[in-house]
Amino acid sequence: MPSLTALIDFANPHTADGAPRLRHAFGTPSRILQAKQLTEVAGVLLAAEAAARAGAWCVGYVRYEAAPAFDAALAVHPATGPLAWFAVYPQTLPWPQAPVPAPASPTVQWQPSLERSQFDAALAKLDAAIAAGEFYQVNYTSQRSGQWVDDAQTSTASAGLALFHALQQAQPGGYAAYLNTGLEQVLSVSPELFFDWRDGELLTRPMKGTAPRGATPQDDAAQAEMLRNSPKERAENVMIVDLLRNDVSRIAEPFSVQVPQLFHTQALPSVWQMTSDVTARTRAGCTLADVFAALFPCGSITGAPKVQAMQAIRALEPEARGVYCGAVGVLQPGGTATFNVPIRTLTLQSHSGNQQGQAQQVRYGIGSGITSGSEPAAEWAEWQHKQAFVQRATTRFELLETLGLVDGQLMQRSLHLARMQAAATHFGFTWPGVALEQALDHIAQAHATGAWRVRLLLGLQGQVTAQAFELPPSPSTVLLQLAKQPLEEAHSEFVRFKTTHRPHYDAFTPTEPGVFDTLLWNTQHEITECTRGNIALLLRGQWVTPPLRCGLLPGVGRAQALADGRLVEAVVAVRELPEVSALAFVNSMRGWLPARLAP
């Protein structure tokens, strides 16, 4: 197959989930259209539209910094690349049959992100400006960068394709696109539709309103319901819907602007998002350049009113957004145009390699809409939830279960396998049921006597590893220390599911002699778990353990104690610890260990 320069994997915005997707690969373009100056942007859009109407495919982007090409009042930073870029293709290629294999070590060395104090200071400025009536909402964002180092000496293009594949696994569905312009690679797995324009009918679908996914099916449904009915989230959504209605009306036939759907909730791997639809019939003679002039940038990533919001963005954000928050899309033969809002989007640029291999600079942005009802802690948490897809895609990890093996019998084997299978489903790992059973059978037969700790690992493609280690006798009582700071990742998928990715736990590893483990708490000052097991607390005469919604691993030993009636779920605040009359460390391998808290 020829070298791939673009991939488009877009949902059909006019049909329900499960409908065929617009899914094409593209090789060598017949020509490139690009705008390096603001005065050239409209011309590039018109040329791309003309090529599509003549039968070609056009795939490309418009940078956020192209906004002044349509309205000089829209404030932006200077651009760091072409303002608009489109590749023209005479035909498509088949979608690659096999996924692009991930490199040997697809990890990114991320540089420190925006400090919480800087974040709070920015929100304080926005809150004051909103109170003063300068604007209603601003979409505040921050860029994060890092180096992706590939020990396998993979080519720059292959590295980008591999990372795009990993991003799609972490953030499936939506409006995904891969572009290799030669200078940079754009890897977009955006869930947000900017607009779809075909046969004179325009559909926009702004995404505004976010809630984290729940730790259990019941909690997850409750989070979605809370999002749908949240006055703050609904107000945030309506502000942008009103802005889009106004923008769309500039190119719409009279009385054709409609809002057929409000407050639709969409499930993504780490968050629930709220969308609404704004539709219209465009006026005769309307061009793609006219559509961009009316809508760009999408109001969901600026705020309202757009001019004032973008002025605030220019003042607060220290650098250009780039393709992030611009538009990435495809023009089909005949002229149908579909563009995403490139959130959940990375750019990859290569520079000189080092002794360890080829180094690529990776950048992505994360943001949220700030209104008068925004609370810094909640917005900060939203940022963490939104960027989970990046952590998953750029982290090499395996699924993990640790089982007790006593005299050839694996303790609670079926429960451990069920938990691992749930994790495999969540992360998209191949599930090799028979191979796992065989590996456990083999290790049990090989260790027919004594007490052992079995470490069971599952790789992305279904690779199975099982090892046994001697299990020392459990102490009669263990000493726990209380964490000195909250576990900010308490609601991460790497807490809800057991994997080998544990830096968030390793940071709390006890260093004092005699301390067995650390008792953790979340940013709401609620007790959660220990780093290697769950916690049971005797509070006001009843043994309780924190519910999963506090942010903890659903331990097998914990589940058994709940099923036996030995434990019930209850939220326990850190301030309540003086009222706790007894503690126990709980996991399936050690069982129930009496514990005490270090002074």
The total number of residues shown for the chain amounts to 599
Around Cβ 313, how many Cβ atoms within 10 Å?
26
Residues with a known catalytic role: 192, 208
Tokens of 321: 């957004």
Structure letter (DSSP) for residue 305: S
Which residues in 532-556 are b (16+ Cβ under 10 Å) and which e? Answer: bbbbbbebeeebbbbbbbbbbbbbb
Phi-psi category of 9—alpha, beta or left, where left has phi over 0 and alpha has psi -120 to 50?
A: beta
Non-local CB neighbours of 421 within 8 Å, separated by 6+ positions: 431, 433
- 587 pairs with which residues across the strands? 591
Cα angle vertex 445, ends 407, 438, to 5°?
125
Cα angle vertex 283, ends 279, 286, to 5°?
100
Tokens of 317: 């954000």
Position 425, amino acid: T
Around Cβ 356, how many Cβ atoms within 10 Å?
11
Q: How far apart (Å, rounded) are the C-alpha atoms in residues 314 and 74?
A: 9
* Cβ–Cβ < 8 Å for 331, 52: yes
**What sign does the dihedral 551-554-555-557 (CA atoms) show?**
positive
